[in-house]
Structure formats: structure tokens, C-alpha cells
């Protein structure tokens, strides 16, 4: 459990660097990430390298005792490069090349940009790969940020045709899989196929899905060029990439297969404002962030790399600049977010950024320090966490780290998140508000409100140890997963639309849920999306009712029995042995009812936590976090020992408990 910071020496006078480094160390910071946007300073003109400043920066940070995370600077190709090769630019759906003057303007498919990216990455890796201060590498910066995965350049079109030829071998096979007989969409050659944009009405969903799969594989290939070069020139150092929140444009599991550590950038207030929460929740959580937004991603990114290794690479330190509204976190939130990340197993939490730059696009975005070098609120809270880590002492923190490494699955819930399934629902939502990420998040949040600990895993993950597996939005026909679920002993919860589409975005074999039908004991005869205001009530065995909105299915039971019913008496939740199938989009209370039943069958204990309080268990350690605006009383058991905080938790408060062996 260590702290780090993102630092931009190129943005500050050289004679501040040593003082900055000394102050970082004094604050308790151990890691510093640098240089991800520094290409124009490293190579101001083609082939002319200016290493002196970066040598000095790395040496200064190292001399102060900091561990350097060095980045490849490929997220910001400089002007001279763009001018020399305008074909490297990404092209948007309207055919417009994305211009120079911000960042991420490159196309992942450009062969010339891939060569340039390899050239600059190799140059940096060669120069610093063996430097004793460099402990880790970050490739590029936030692949896909500002919606930059999908490009419609000539290079992308060509690469797409080649990718299709590889996937289908013959154009006849493609025509058949895509159903191109419909509307005379048949092709004679792969060379006739364009990206799915510019069509009169929607392009064939199969075409669109393949474009998403293709584009994702381009990100994987682009990243792999860099990871291979870094490993060659800097063996033994961790290689990472900093992923984003609520971002689904490429398959993060596939990119992570080439990384040692997954890292992600956590901006709880920005995400609360910019994503799918209700207006009421945006207000309620404006200054704390929704309690489950950070942990949803912590639990997701912990499932990416071998051994569950992950960090927060950028932690919001104060107001950001990029959301629709940018409130300030309540005092105490930066500390609470940091501890929340450690509670979910983060090795390192790095704050974005050391100092607020008073110029350019992000001048309104806070740092740990203000532009005049004075310490801001976020900096004070980082110092407090560092102090608390010291007070806990190495024995306790080593034990917490060991609990994290043991990766036990018993007592935890697996929630499967499958990127291709998300793309399927995004391409064909069928109802304007059917957002597969949102239903996944809502299911996750309900589990967390019941005090359950969740591992968010890929559909390829080992599931054997879990007592409860939840698939909120697994649209993709997945017979391999179905077999593994059948062979497991877990209670399995399916969200609506499970298993409904095959790889080519057509109906899966038979009616939905396709390959999951055997386990679920039912088939779906009709689906309907529900406009806002058109809701069903759902009646539960205990007589209570919850609401169903957005989506509803008419299901024929083939062995399954109805547990809860819509108002017209048709089944809303069906149970078949270990399987639970939701024939609609439950509200929060509905999810909780469902998970309480399934968890009890799974032998998992649920708790009714106070509103906006979360508990996170890591081995014998329990972290209690208060996101609410009132003081709450919470203690796990009489025998637990409180190591930080207290039974009474003030707003934004945190407690760490050591549970007794019997807990
Ligand atoms: C991230 C990005 C950083 C910075 C930050 C601002 O998305 O990686 O470079 O822009 O957001 O919040």
C-alpha cells in the first residue's frame, strides 16, 4: 500500500524539480509517473532527441528516493510528425480527420504511426530501461479516451478487410453469418466491404459488431508492439496501461493479457456527473461520488492481470475540469477514496497530479498543490493517508497485502463482465435506455449494499470457487461458459437477454437464452422494451412488491418455477435448481430481493448496511467506509479489534477492523 503522483517536469522550471521531489517524499509519496505527453520535448524534430532534461528529471526523482513509472509518449504525436504523415490521423464517422491541437489524434490502424510509436517507445525504453530509478512502465495513456478507438481511415478500412478475410476465410461464409441476403447486402469480395458508416439507415448489426471486434483487436496489437519492446529493453520491470472508468470500446481483458499490472484512472465526481445516474443521485453524490463507482472499477481491474495485480494510476485530487459540472469533493473524500482503493487490493494509489498547471486545457483541474506551489486540500489528505499507513506499521500493512495476494474466492461473488456482450447491447439496445453497463453496475451496487464482496471477472475466468455467479448482461452465446456453469456448484443469476445473440449478432441457437437454456430451464418467447413511465410491479413471495422498468420478457418455463410475478401473473423471476433468471430490469429493491434469495441458497451471509455505508473484506480485515452525510455506528462483532477509526463513523469516515478468527 503505497502512494504515488503524476508529475510533469516539462511543465515547470528545472530549478523547481529537486524541491518538488523532496516535498513529494516528505509528504509520503513513493512513486512518480512521468513523461506520457512529452514527445515534443523528447524529440522536437524528426530524429533530433533532447534527452538532457529527461535524464535530469529521472535522476532528480531517483536521487530523492522516488520510484519512477516511465511512460511511452504515444498519446500525443507532435506536430512535425502529423504534418509529415497526415494519413496517421484517426478519421471520424463523418469522414473528418481528427485535427492536431489536443491529444489522441492517431489511428490505431495506421502502419506508419505504428512504426513511429515503436520507434519512439524503443528509444525511450533503450535509454531508461536499465535506469535504477525506473521501476515500471506505462504504455501510451488511456487508450480510447475522447472516443478514439473507432476510426474510419483508409488504413482502418484496409485492415478491417484483412481481419474479415482471416475470420471468415470466404466471403460466402461472411454473407451467410451476417445474413446479407437481407436487403441484398451480399458482397462478392472482401475488398468490397467498407466500415459500417454512412449507410442510409442502421448498418447491419453483424457488420457493426465485427467492426467493434476488429477495432478492439487493433488496440491490442498496438499495445503489444510497445510491451514487447519494453520487455526487451527493460526486463524485470512491471508493464502497465492506465485504463478508464465506464469505458467499453475495447476488450480490456484482451489488452491486459499483455500487462503485468492493470491500472485505472479514478475520477468519482466526474463519473457521477457524466454517466447514467439519475438527476437525484447526481445531486446526492455530487461531492462524495457514488460509493460504488470507484469500487466497481477496483473490482473490475483486479480481475485483469495475473495474480490480481492492480493500481489506481490517477486519483481525483479535487475538482476536475471535464465533467458537465465539477464540484469540489467534501473534505475527507480524497482520503476515503484512497483507503477504499487499498481496501479493494490496490498496490499503489497515484494522485493526478502533483501541481495544477495554470495554463492550457486542464488549468481548471486541481492537483495536490495549487499553481503557486502551496499545498491544496487533496495534498493534505494524501499526507494524512501516508501518516496513517505509517501508524498502522509494516506488520499490519504486510498482513493486508498478504490477504490481497491470497486471492481466495470463498465468500465472494463473481460478476461476469464480457465486453463483446456489452457491444451487442450497445449496437442493438432495442430500447433507448437499455445500457448493459448500467445494469451491470446496478447489480454490482445491490450486491455491495448487501455487504457482499465481488470479483468482476471475464467470461474466461476460473469460476469453480465461487458460491454465487452473476451475469447481469451476458448477451453473447457462450457454450463454453454454459458448460462451466453447469459443472460448477454455484448459484447462477442471469439478467435479461442472457445468451440471446451468437458471435455474428444473430439469434443464438433456438430461442434465448440459447446455450444457457439447459441451466435456466426456460425459453424466452417475446421481449419488449418499456418507455419511461411504463413500469410493471413485481410481487415477491413475502408479499412485497418492487418495480420493473425498461425491459420485460415473456418466458415459457421448461422446468423452471416462477419465484416472483409481474402484475399480470406472468413470471418475473424464475428459478431452476441453481439458476435464477430475471425476465426484466429490476429496480434496486428488486435486485436486493433476488440476491438475498440467491445468496442465502449459496450459503453467503448478507447484511443490511446503513445507507451509503460500505464494508469491504480482505482476508481477516474489514474496511468500513461512510459515504453518507451522517455519523453512523458500525462494528462487525464484539471480538473485532479496531485499528483505525472507531465504531462511530463521522461522514467521510473510515474504520479498519481486524476480525476475530471466528468472524
Ligand atoms: C485522464 C487523463 C489525464 C488527465 C486527467 C484529467 O483522463 O489520463 O491525462 O487528462 O484525465 O482528469
Q: How far apart are CA 183 and CA 317, in angstroms?
A: 53
Q: Whose CA is nearest to atom 9 of ligand 1?
A: 141
- Tell me the best of 69, 103, 142, 272 to mutate to test the pocket of ligand 1, counting ligand atoms within 8 Å of each CB and taking the most: 142
Q: How far apart are CA 494 and CA 483, in angstroms?
A: 15
Q: How confident is the model at residue 400, as a pLDDT?
A: 80
- Tell me the best of 6, 146, 270, 314 to mutate to test the pocket of ligand 1, counting ligand atoms within 8 Å of each CB and taking the most: 314
Looking at residue 237, the DSSP 8-state letter turns out to be S
In the sheet where 641-644 sits, what is the strand order? 613-618, 621-626, 654-658, 641-644
Class of domain 613-658: mainly beta
The residue assigned the cell 473534505 is 331
Ramachandran sector of residue 349 (left: φ over 0; alpha: ψ -120 to 50; beta: rest): beta
Ordered DSSP codes for 317-343 = -S--SSSSS-PPPPTTHHHHHHHHHHH
Cα-to-centroid distance, 408 and ligand 1 (Å): 33
CATH topology of domain 413-602: Rossmann fold (3.40.50)
Residues sharing a CB contact under 8 Å with residue 95, sequence separation 6 or more, in sequence order: 152, 198
Asked if 534 contacts 236 with a C-beta cutoff of 8 angstroms, the reply is no
Q: Three-state DSSP class for 29? A: strand
Q: How confident is the model at residue 616, as a pLDDT?
A: 94
Atom of ligand 1 nearest to the CA of 267: 12
Cα-to-centroid distance, 301 and ligand 1 (Å): 18
Protein residues with CB under 6 Å of any ligand 1 atom: 141-142, 145, 265, 267, 314, 320, 322, 352, 362, 365
Q: How confident is the model at residue 523, as a pLDDT?
A: 97
Q: Whose CA is nearest to atom 10 of ligand 1?
A: 362
pLDDT digits (tens, 9 = 90+) for 179-211: 999 999 999 999 999 999 999 999 999 999 999
Q: Whose CA is nearest to atom 6 of ligand 1?
A: 320
pLDDT of residue 560 exceeding 80: yes
Cα-to-centroid distance, 428 and ligand 1 (Å): 30
Q: Whose CA is nearest to atom 12 of ligand 1?
A: 320
Q: Whose CA is nearest to atom 1 of ligand 1?
A: 265
Q: Whose CA is nearest to atom 2 of ligand 1?
A: 142
Atom of ligand 1 nearest to the CA of 36: 9
Q: How confident is the model at residue 411, as a pLDDT?
A: 83
Asked if 450 contacts 592 with a C-beta cutoff of 8 angstroms, the reply is yes
Q: How confident is the model at residue 395, as a pLDDT?
A: 78
pLDDT of residue 663 exceeding 60: no
Residues sharing a CB contact under 8 Å with residue 372, sequence separation 6 or more, in sequence order: none
Q: How confident is the model at residue 588, as a pLDDT?
A: 97
Asked if 106 contacts 89 with a C-beta cutoff of 8 angstroms, the reply is yes
The residue assigned the cell 435479461 is 496
pLDDT of residue 126 exceeding 70: yes
Cell numbers linked to 619: 482476508
Q: How far apart are CA 439 and CA 419, in angstroms?
A: 14
Q: How far apart are CA 506 and CA 476, in angstroms?
A: 10
Q: How confident is the model at residue 637, as a pLDDT?
A: 77
Distances (CA, A) of 243 to 72, 106, 427, 441, 516: 15, 18, 22, 17, 31
Question: Element (H or E) spanning 455, and its range?
Answer: strand 453-457
Nearest to 511 by CA among 495, 494, 527: 527
Question: Element (H or E) spanning 442, and its range?
Answer: helix 436-449
Atom of ligand 1 nearest to the CA of 316: 12
Report the pLDDT averaged over residues 19-29.
98
Q: How confident is the model at residue 619, as a pLDDT?
A: 85
Selecting among 314, 388, 438, 477, the annotated active-site residue is 314
Q: For residue 69, how far is the Cα from the chain centroid? A: 21
Q: Whose CA is nearest to atom 5 of ligand 1?
A: 352
Cα-to-centroid distance, 269 and ligand 1 (Å): 13
Ramachandran sector of residue 101 (left: φ over 0; alpha: ψ -120 to 50; beta: rest): left
Cα-to-centroid distance, 525 and ligand 1 (Å): 46
Say whether 142 is catalytic: yes
End-to-end Cα separation, the chain, in angstroms: 24
Cα-to-centroid distance, 423 and ligand 1 (Å): 24
Q: How confident is the model at residue 608, as a pLDDT?
A: 85
pLDDT digits (tens, 9 = 90+) for 493-509: 999 999 999 999 999 98
Atom of ligand 1 nearest to the CA of 242: 8
Distances (CA, A) of 60 to 16, 129, 133, 228, 257: 11, 17, 10, 28, 33
Say whether 314 is catalytic: yes
> Taking CA 74 as the corner, what is the angle to CA 69 and CA 77, rounded to the nearest 5 degrees?
140
Strands in 132-291 per DSSP E = 134-138, 238-243, 261-266
Asked if 600 contacts 515 with a C-beta cutoff of 8 angstroms, the reply is no
Q: How confident is the model at residue 394, as a pLDDT?
A: 84
Q: How far apart are CA 34 and CA 40, in angstroms?
A: 14
Q: Three-state DSSP class for 186? A: coil
Report the pLDDT averaged over residues 421-442.
98
Q: How far apart are CA 614 and CA 652, in angstroms?
A: 11
pLDDT of residue 99 exceeding 90: yes
Q: How far apart are CA 541 and CA 510, in angstroms?
A: 31
pLDDT of residue 133 exceeding 60: yes
Please indicate whether residue 619 or residue 468 has the higher confidence score (pLDDT).
468
Q: How far apart are CA 444 and CA 441, in angstroms?
A: 5
Nearest to 460 by CA among 493, 484, 432: 484
Cell numbers linked to 36: 506520457
Q: How confident is the model at residue 393, as a pLDDT?
A: 87
pLDDT digits (tens, 9 = 90+) for 308-338: 999 999 999 999 999 999 999 999 999 999 9
Cell numbers linked to 624: 468500513
Cα-to-centroid distance, 287 and ligand 1 (Å): 19
Q: How far apart are CA 491 and CA 647, in angstroms?
A: 34
Sign, CA dihedral 582-585-591-593, equals negative
- Tell me the best of 267, 334, 352, 356 to mutate to test the pocket of ligand 1, counting ligand atoms within 8 Å of each CB and taking the most: 352
Q: How far apart are CA 211 and CA 649, in angstroms?
A: 50
Nearest to 32 by CA among 23, 41, 40: 23
Least confident of 22-31, 169-178, 280-289, 399-408: 399-408
Atom of ligand 1 nearest to the CA of 141: 8
Position 662 confidence tier, pLDDT thresholds 50, 70, 90: low
Q: How far apart are CA 193 and CA 203, in angstroms?
A: 12
Q: How many CA atoms lie within 13 A of 69 on its CB side?
A: 29
Q: Report the DSSP beta bridge partners of residue 97.
A: 91
Angle between helices 154-168 and 171-178 (to 10 degrees): 90
Report the pLDDT averaged over residues 85-93.
98
pLDDT digits (tens, 9 = 90+) for 394-421: 878 888 878 776 767 778 999 999 999 9
Atom of ligand 1 nearest to the CA of 352: 5
The residue count for the chain: 663
Q: How confident is the model at residue 407, as a pLDDT?
A: 61
Q: How far apart are CA 552 and CA 114, in angstroms?
A: 46
Cα-to-centroid distance, 40 and ligand 1 (Å): 18
Selecting among 36, 142, 347, 381, the annotated active-site residue is 142
Question: Element (H or E) spanning 447, and its range?
Answer: helix 436-449
Q: Report the DSSP beta bridge partners of residue 367.
A: none
Cell numbers linked to 223: 499495445
Cα-to-centroid distance, 266 and ligand 1 (Å): 10
Cell numbers linked to 348: 499503489
Nearest to 3 by CA among 440, 431, 311: 311
Position 639 confidence tier, pLDDT thresholds 50, 70, 90: confident
Domain(s) labelled CATH 3.40.50.880 in the chain stretch across: 413-602
Atom of ligand 1 nearest to the CA of 244: 7
Domain(s) labelled CATH 2.60.40.1180 in the chain stretch across: 613-658
Q: Average pLDDT, whole number, for the chain? A: 96
Amino acid at each position: 500500500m503505497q502512494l504515488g503522483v503524476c508529475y510533469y517536469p516539462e511543465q515547470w522550471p528545472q530549478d523547481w524539480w529537486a524541491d518538488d521531489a523532496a516535498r513529494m517524499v516528505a509528504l509520503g509519496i513513493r512513486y512518480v509517473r512521468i513523461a506520457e505527453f512529452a514527445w515534443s520535448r523528447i524529440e522536437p524534430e524528426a530524429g533530433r532527441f533532447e534527452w538532457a532534461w529527461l535524464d535530469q528529471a529521472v535522476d532528480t526523482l531517483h536521487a530523492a528516493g522516488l520510484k519512477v513509472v516511465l511512460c511511452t509518449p504515444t498519446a500525443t504525436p507532435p506536430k512535425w510528425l502529423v504534418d509529415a504523415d497526415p494519413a496517421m490521423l484517426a478519421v471520424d464517422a463523418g469522414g473528418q480527420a481528427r485535427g492536431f491541437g489536443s491529444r489522441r489524434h492517431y489511428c490505431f490502424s495506421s502502419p506508419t504511426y505504428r512504426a513511429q510509436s515503436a520507434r519512439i517507445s524503443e528509444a525511450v525504453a533503450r535509454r531508461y530501461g536499465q535506469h535504477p530509478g525506473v521501476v515500471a512502465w506505462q504504455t501510451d495513456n488511456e487508450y480510447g479516451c475522447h472516443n478514439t478507438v473507432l476510426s474510419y481511415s483508409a488504413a482502418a478500412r484496409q485492415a478491417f478487410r484483412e481481419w474479415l478475410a482471416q475470420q471468415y476465410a470466404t466471403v460466402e461464409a461472411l454473407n451467410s453469418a451476417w445474413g446479407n441476403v437481407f436487403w441484398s447486402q451480399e458482397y462478392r469480395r472482401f475488398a468490397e466491404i467498407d466500415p459500417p458508416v454512412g449507410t442510409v439507415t442502421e448498418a447491419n448489426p453483424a457488420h457493426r459488431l465485427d467492426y467493434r471486434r476488429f477495432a478492439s483487436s487493433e488496440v491490442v496489437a498496438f499495445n503489444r508492439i510497445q510491451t514487447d519492446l519494453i520487455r526487451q529493453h527493460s526486463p524485470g520491470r512491471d508493464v502497465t496501461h492506465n485504463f478508464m472508468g465506464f469505458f467499453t470500446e475495447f476488450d480490456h481483458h484482451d489488452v491486459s493479457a499483455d500487462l503485468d499490472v492493470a491500472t485505472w484512472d479514478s475520477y468519482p465526481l466526474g463519473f457521477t456527473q457524466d454517466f447514467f445516474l439519475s438527476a437525484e443521485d447526481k445531486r446526492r453524490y455530487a461531492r462524495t461520488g457514488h460509493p460504488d463507482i470507484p469500487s466497481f472499477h477496483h473490482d473490475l481491474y483486479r480481475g485483469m492481470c495475473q495474480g490480481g495485480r492492480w493500481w489506481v494510476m490517477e486519483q481525483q485530487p479535487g475538482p476536475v475540469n471535464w465533467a458537465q459540472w465539477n464540484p469540489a469533493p467534501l473534505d475527507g473524500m480524497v482520503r476515503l477514496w484512497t483507503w477504499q482503493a487499498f481496501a479493494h487490493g490496490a498496490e499503489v494509489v497515484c494522485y493526478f497530479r502533483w501541481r495544477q498547471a495554470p495554463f492550457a486545457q486542464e488549468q481548471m483541474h486541481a492537483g495536490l498543490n495549487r499553481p503557486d506551489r502551496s499545498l491544496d486540500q487533496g495534498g493534505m489528505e494524501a499526507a494524512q493517508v501516508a501518516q496513517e499507513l505509517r501508524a498502522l506499521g509494516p506488520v499490519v500493512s504486510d498482513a493486508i497485502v498478504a490477504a490481497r495476494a491470497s486471492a481466495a474466492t470463498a465468500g465472494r461473488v463473481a460478476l461476469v463482465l464480457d465486453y463483446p456482450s456489452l457491444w451487442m447491447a450497445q449496437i442493438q439496445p432495442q430500447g433507448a435506455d437499455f445500457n448493459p453497463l448500467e445494469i451491470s453496475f446496478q447489480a454490482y451496487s445491490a450486491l455491495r449494499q448487501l455487504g457482499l464482496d465481488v470479483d468482476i471477472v471475464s467470461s474466461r475466468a476460473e469460476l469453480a470457487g465461487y458460491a454465487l455467479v452473476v451475469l447481469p448482461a451476458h448477451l453473447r452465446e457462450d457454450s463454453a461458459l454454459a458448460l462451466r456453469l453447469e459443472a460448477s456448484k454455484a448459484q447462477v443469476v442471469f439478467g435479461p437477454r442472457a445468451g440471446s445473440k451468437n458471435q455474428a449478432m444473430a439469434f443464438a441457437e433456438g430461442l434465448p437464452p440459447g446455450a444457457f437454456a439447459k441451466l435456466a430451464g426456460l425459453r424466452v418467447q417475446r421481449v419488449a422494451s418499456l418507455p419511461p413511465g411504463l413500469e410493471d410491479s413485481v410481487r415477491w413471495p413475502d408479499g412485497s412488491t418492487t418495480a420493473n422498468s425498461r425491459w420485460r420478457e415473456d418466458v415459457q418455463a421448461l422446468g423452471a418455477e416462477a419465484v416472483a410475478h409481474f402484475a399480470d401473473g406472468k413470471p418475473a423471476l424464475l428459478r431452476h435448481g441453481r439458476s435464477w433468471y430475471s425476465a426484466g430490469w429490476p429496480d434496486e429493491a428488486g435486485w436486493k430481493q433476488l440476491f438475498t434469495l440467491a445468496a442465502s441458497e449459496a450459503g453467503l451471509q448478507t447484511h443490511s448496511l446503513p445507507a451509503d455505508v460500505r464494508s469491504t473484506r480482505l482476508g481477516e480485515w474489514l474496511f468500513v467506509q461512510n459515504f453518507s452525510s451522517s455519523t453512523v455506528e458500525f462494528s462487525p462483532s464484539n471480538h473485532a479489534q479496531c485499528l483505525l477509526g472507531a465504531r462511530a463513523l463521522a461522514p467521510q469516515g473510515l474504520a479498519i477492523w481486524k476480525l476475530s478468527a471466528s468472524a
